[in-house]
C-alpha cells in the first residue's frame, strides 16, 4: 500500500512504554467485567482477560511515550497515516450516506496493558474500540501475531485491522452499537456487528483503491486477514473443532464476503448486516 505521503492524523495518543501502571482498577474487578462485555461486542476474545490476568511488572519499551512520533517509528507513522485517511474518507462519506457528522475518535497506542473507559485490558485482548471514551486501542504486537500466528502478513492487512476498529466507531455514531448492546448477549447480533465493521473497512478500501493507493496483492492481504480472524478458523486452530452456534464474529467466508461488499460498492448503505 502506498501510504507514506498520506496526511498524518493528530488524533493519536501514544501511551507505549507506560504499561498501564499506576492506574487503579476499582470496584472489585468490575472494570474488567465491563471491558469483557465491550470486547465481546466490539471485537476480540473476552476470555483472554481472565485466562491471562493483568501482567505484572510490565517493562517499558525503549521509546519514551509521547504524542509525537520519532522519525524512525514506522509503525507510528503508518498508524497515523491510516487514521488520517479514515478521517478524510468518513468525514465525507458519513454525512453523504448517513446524514451524520463525523466525530473523530482517537487511536491510543499502548504496550502490554492499558486503561480505558471500558476498563483495564492487556494486549492479549487484541485491538479494540471502547464506546465509553470513543477511542481505538492498539498494541503493535498484534501485527506480529497477525503475521506469525494468523499467517496474514502485509501492510494492507494491518490497515484492514485499523479500519475495522474505526468501523466500530462509525457504528457507535449511527446507533448500531447501542442497539446491539441493549439486546444483551446475543451471538447473532454480535456477528452482525462485526460483519458490518468489516464492510465499513471495505468502504474505506474502496476509497484507497480509487485513489491509487493499493498495490498488487493488497486486496488479497486484507481478505486473508479477514478470513484468518473468522470464528471457524480460530476455533479450528485453538480447539480443533468448529461450533457455529458459538460464533461471535462470523465465519471466514462471511468476513471476506462483507469486506468485499464494502470494497466493491464504496457505499456504507450496502452494509446492512441485520436485514
Computed on alpha carbons and rounded to an integer, the radius of gyration of the chain in Å comes to 17
pLDDT at 47 over 70: no
- Which CA distances in Å does 118 have to 34, 107, 169, 170, 257? 6, 15, 14, 18, 30
Question: Distance (Å, rounded) from C-alpha 27 to C-alpha 5?
Answer: 46
Question: Distance (Å, rounded) from C-alpha 275 to C-alpha 273?
Answer: 6
Do 61 and 17 form a contact (C-beta atoms < 8 A)?
Answer: yes
- Is the model more confident about 62 or about 51? 51
pLDDT of residue 54: 36
Instruction: Write the pLDDT tens digit of every residue in 140-198.
Output: 999 999 999 899 999 999 999 999 999 999 999 999 999 998 888 889 999 999 999 99
Extents of the domains making up the chain: 12-270
- Which CA distances in Å does 187 have to 97, 134, 275? 28, 23, 16
Question: Distance (Å, rounded) from C-alpha 199 to C-alpha 192?
Answer: 10
Tell me the pTM. 0.82
DSSP 269: G
pLDDT of residue 72: 60
Amino acid at each position: 500500500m502506498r501510504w507514506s505521503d498520506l496526511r498524518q492524523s493528530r488524533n493519536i495518543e501514544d501511551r507505549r512504554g507506560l504499561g498501564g501502571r499506576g492506574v487503579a482498577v476499582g470496584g472489585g474487578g468490575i472494570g474488567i467485567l465491563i471491558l469483557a462485555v465491550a470486547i465481546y461486542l466490539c471485537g476480540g476474545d473476552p476470555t483472554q482477560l481472565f485466562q491471562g490476568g493483568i501482567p505484572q511488572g510490565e517493562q517499558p519499551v525503549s521509546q519514551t511515550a509521547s504524542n509525537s512520533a520519532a522519525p524512525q517509528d514506522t509503525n507510528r507513522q503508518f498508524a497515523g497515516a491510516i487514521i488520517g485517511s479514515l478521517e478524510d474518507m468518513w468525514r465525507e462519506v458519513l454525512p453523504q450516506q448517513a446524514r451524520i457528522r463525523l466525530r473523530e475518535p482517537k487511536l491510543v497506542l499502548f504496550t502490554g496493558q492499558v486503561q480505558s473507559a471500558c476498563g483495564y485490558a492487556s494486549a492479549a485482548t487484541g485491538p479494540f474500540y471502547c464506546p465509553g471514551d470513543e477511542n481505538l486501542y492498539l498494541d503493535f504486537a498484534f501485527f506480529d501475531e497477525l503475521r506469525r500466528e494468523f499467517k496474514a502478513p502485509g501492510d494492507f492487512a494491518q490497515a484492514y485491522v485499523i479500519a475495522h476498529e474505526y468501523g466500530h466507531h462509525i457504528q457507535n455514531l449511527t446507533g448500531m452499537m447501542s442497539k446491539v448492546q441493549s439486546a444483551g448477549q446475543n451471538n447473532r447480533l454480535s456477528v452482525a456487528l462485526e460483519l458490518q465493521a468489516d464492510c465499513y473497512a471495505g468502504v474505506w478500501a474502496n476509497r484507497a483503491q480509487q485513489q491509487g493507493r493499493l498495490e498488487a496483492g493488497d486486496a488479497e492481504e486484507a481478505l486473508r486477514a479477514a478470513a484468518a480472524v473468522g470464528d471457524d478458523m480460530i476455533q479450528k486452530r485453538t480447539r480443533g473443532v468448529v461450533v457455529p452456534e458459538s460464533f461471535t464474529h462470523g465465519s471466514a467466508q462471511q468476513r471476506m464476503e462483507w469486506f468485499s461488499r464494502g470494497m466493491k460498492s464504496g457505499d456504507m448503505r450496502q452494509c446492512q448486516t441485520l436485514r
